[in-house]
Amino acid sequence: MNILMLTPYLPYPLLSGGQIRTYNLLKKLSQHHSITLFALIKDESEKKYISHLEEFCSVVRVFKRSQRPFTLKNVLKTAVSSYPFLIIRNHVPEVIKAVEAELSYTQYDLIHAETFYMMPHIPQTDTPILLVEQTIEYLGYESYAERAHPLLQPILAVDIAKIKHWEKHFWKKSDVLVTMSEADKEYIAQVLGEKEGIQVVENGVDAAWFAEKPWKPPPTPTALFVGTFKWLPNVEAVNYLLDAVWNGVKAQIPNAQLHIVGNEPTQDIIEKAKALKDVKVLGRIDDIRDAFSTANVLIAPVMSGKGTRYKILEAMAAGTPIVATPTAVEGIDVTPDTHVVLSSSPEELIQQTVKVLQNRSLQKKLSSTGKLYVAQHFEWGEISKKLDALYNAMGNQS
């Protein structure tokens, strides 16, 4: 089949969950389909990765959006537009013209759009549209707004209302809507009042790749936080960890260390970490396996957002024990105290983290059961078959 895929990022290098998902699915799906990729980039230097993606795509074209989101131009555009800031910062009129031209001279079986905010780039067309929602955006922003400065809350409320309106609009406009979990599917179905056209294609993991670097728990008790900091729920989670949890862990395990890993940590996070003992902000590292394989426990105090968390799947694949909030493992259907340890309050997170850090036999149990579970249920090969089936079903109907 001939597929036109639109993404708000170049799917390489693998710096975010969205990039990881798109890249791995591209590798698998390119074995059966011809894929033309239109992707947004922030910097001209990203073009050096195009040749790598051409191994899986028939054509790769990139389009420049603003390098920094909070430009005066983007803010002013948002103020006078019915679109929210999220769409404005990712909106490139050149893409609309390119898609129109592409559809005029090439027959496509379907258009695959990653995230609802790529949908405004698609002109009126009879070509079936598959929309993938990696998370439900307005929920994450609502949670952020609740904790924002009171003077910002009215402004954020207006923008969140716009996100909610357009997110629902494009859910309805797509022919097939893909979610990351059954929980997300049920939530959206309730919002829309129907389930028809909503399918689940979960996130996955390359278990064999993680197995190449076995988990080796360090002698010094070491906790880990992983997550890209461009995603608001991750910023919220690490602040929660630093503000409400870590000092409690240190009070009981004075020599414990915390490593914070992820792309683009905020200056606020860096400053908070400096003020705490034995906390290192490592930022982006070349091989995420090095972080997972040398930690006794991953702490995932996620409080908001939807979708399946890559850090949970990757930690399990790496054999790293996990202490997490229920929100952090939503959609993965893990068994508490078998695959992960769950905690809801700061006090519980402290006690369960201490428990895992001090108990080597519990670490080994969580490590082995987590690895097995991911290998059985979340391998990219099996996940890609679900998307492939949707492609074929849509192609047969067009």
Mapping DSSP onto H, E and C, the string for 284-328 reads CCCCHHHHHHCCCEEEECCCCCCCCCHHHHHHHHHCCCEEECHHH
359 pLDDT above the threshold of 70: yes
Least reliable range by pLDDT among 139-153, 264-278, 340-354: 139-153
Task: Give the pLDDT of residue 148.
Answer: 76
Q: Determine how many CB atoms are found less than 10 A away from the CB of residue 257.
A: 18
pLDDT classification of 167: cutoffs 50, 70, 90: very high
Least reliable range by pLDDT among 222-236, 241-255, 359-373: 222-236
Over the stretch 116-160, which tens digit does the pLDDT of each residue have?
999 999 999 999 999 999 989 898 788 778 877 888 889 999 999
Task: Give the pLDDT of residue 398.
Answer: 59
Q: Helices marked H in the chain — which ranges?
A: 17-29, 50-53, 72-80, 85-89, 93-105, 137-146, 153-173, 182-192, 207-211, 232-240, 246-252, 267-275, 288-293, 310-318, 346-358, 360-377, 380-397
Task: Give the pLDDT of residue 304.
Answer: 78
Least reliable range by pLDDT among 141-145, 158-162, 260-264, 295-299: 141-145
What residues does CATH 3.40.50.2000 cover in the chain? 2-204+380-397, 207-377
Answer positive or negative: Cα dihedral of 178, 179, 181, 184: negative
Q: Residue length, the chain?
A: 398
Architecture of the domain spanning 207-377? 3-Layer(aba) Sandwich (3.40)
Task: Give the pLDDT of residue 196.
Answer: 87
Question: Look-up: residue for tokens 């683009």?
Answer: 264
pTM of the model: 0.85
Least reliable range by pLDDT among 33-42, 158-167, 328-337: 328-337
From the candidate CATH numbers 3.30.420.40, 3.30.43.10, 1.10.3720.10, 3.40.50.2000, the one assigned to the domain spanning 2-204+380-397: 3.40.50.2000
Over the stretch 73-116, which tens digit does the pLDDT of each residue have?
999 999 999 999 999 999 999 999 999 999 999 999 999 999 99
307 pLDDT above the threshold of 70: no
Task: Give the pLDDT of residue 232.
Answer: 83
Task: Give the pLDDT of residue 141.
Answer: 84
Q: Determine how many CB atoms are found less than 10 A away from the CB of residue 95.
A: 21
pLDDT classification of 389: cutoffs 50, 70, 90: very high
Residues 18, 234 contacting (CB under 8 angstroms): no
Task: Give the pLDDT of residue 229.
Answer: 87
Percentage of residues in the chain with pLDDT exceeding 70? 99
pLDDT classification of 308: cutoffs 50, 70, 90: low
191 pLDDT above the threshold of 70: yes
Give the span between the Cα atoms of 171 and 169, in whole angstroms.
6
Task: Give the pLDDT of residue 151.
Answer: 86
Task: Give the pLDDT of residue 261.
Answer: 94
Q: Over the range 315-337, which residues count as b (16 or more CB within 10 Å of their CB) and which as e? A: bbbbbbbbbbbebbbbbbebeee
Residue 342's nearest CA partner among 291, 313, 295, 300 is 300
- Edge-to-edge, what's the strand order for the sheet holding 341-342? 279-283, 257-261, 222-226, 297-300, 322-324, 341-342
Q: Which residues contact 39 (CB under 8 A, 6 or more apart)?
A: 6, 7, 8, 9, 10, 11, 60, 61, 62, 63
Give the span between the Cα atoms of 299 and 253, in whole angstroms.
15
